[in-house]
Structure 1
């Protein structure tokens, strides 16, 4: 029997304002659109869902009790399928505008790791992986794009050096 693994990813951001503030209205208005696109992409496996309330994405999952932290936790069949969504769809346009809606955290806020097929990671599990990456750097336990030899598209679209990848 062959064990199959999928790629889990967590991306954490802190909005510059509460979710009902006009400064983040455009981002909030497009959450369902971008998340819906991700769910329809070839290779998409699973997404941590929020309340299901339209236009809220997963913004109700608080980190450290802070309502302005938003977390995106998904699972993909492969590096290539995640890259295609991140860098090869309209998602890239929103990613490139992230500074309009999110604070620059100045620390690592993105992590990936391999999960057994069928596993749906919890936010607590994902935050533990992020903490491990912050403490130990890239390893097979928790890593960023540069750790993946099969990753290619991120090199052209990655964060500026001031922000973590």
Structure 2
């Protein structure tokens, strides 16, 4: 019997200016309401929070200056899609060029995890690097080139552990 799988998602963005600069102020003001929207969205399971009181704290991770990281787990690809493209989040997403530099390489990755498992940030960054190096696979994919959880569940656990 296959276990229930959830979808892990990581995306990174390079801010055009420091998080406390006037150029980014409108984005910062939108962080808390958009995060609250995610937290209340159907299918939402978990998201990385560096601080319960400071929604900008996800900027500081030791992965580079002005790097904003969004890292979450969802019940399904469909529930994440609905949040990203069928909620108020879409209006913020459409404005991303105002606040973030354009990235030529993949900046978002998804993969399946067993229900109840919260992946680490290091794993998420490794999955993003894997997507950049190898392209989409059941172990690291995008909305455009997605895989269902049964494809990920069929990956040999030992082979996954070595990667």
TM-score, normalised relative to structure 2: 0.86
Partner SS for 1:131: helix
**Which of 114, 117, 130 is 1:116 aligned to?**
114
TM-score after normalising by structure 1: 0.85
Is 1:146 aligned to residue 144 of structure 2?
yes
Contact 1:15 1:101 (C-alpha < 8 Å) held by counterparts:
yes
2:42 aligns to what?
A: 42
Distance change (3 Å), C-alpha of 1:127 and 1:18: same
Specify the alignment match of 2:94 in structure 1.
Answer: 96
- Please state whether the residue corresponding to 2:56 is helix, strand or coil: coil
Once the two structures are TM-superposed, the CA of residue 137 in structure 1 deviates from its matched residue by 0.5
Distance in 1 (alpha carbons) for counterparts of 2:141 and 2:97: 23
Q: Which runs of 4+ in 1 moved over 4 A?
A: none
Q: Report 1:48-127 matches (<5 A).
A: 48-56=48-56, 58-63=58-63, 66-127=64-125
Q: In the alignment, does 2:28 pair up with 1:28?
A: yes
For each residue in 1:69-122, what CA deviation from the matched residue of structure 2 results, as whole angstroms up to 9, or x when unmatched? 010000000011001100011100110100000011211110000011111111
Unaligned runs of 5+ in 1: 151-165
Q: Provide the aligned C-alpha RMSD in A.
A: 1.5
Gaps of 5+ in 2: 149-163
Aligned to 2:17: 17
- For the pair shown, which has the larger CA radius of gyration, 1 or 2? 2
CA gap of 1:68–1:102, structure 2 versus 1, over 3 A, is same
Indicate if the aligned counterparts of 1:32 and 1:57 stay in contact, CA closer than 8 A: no
Secondary structure of 1:62 counterpart: coil
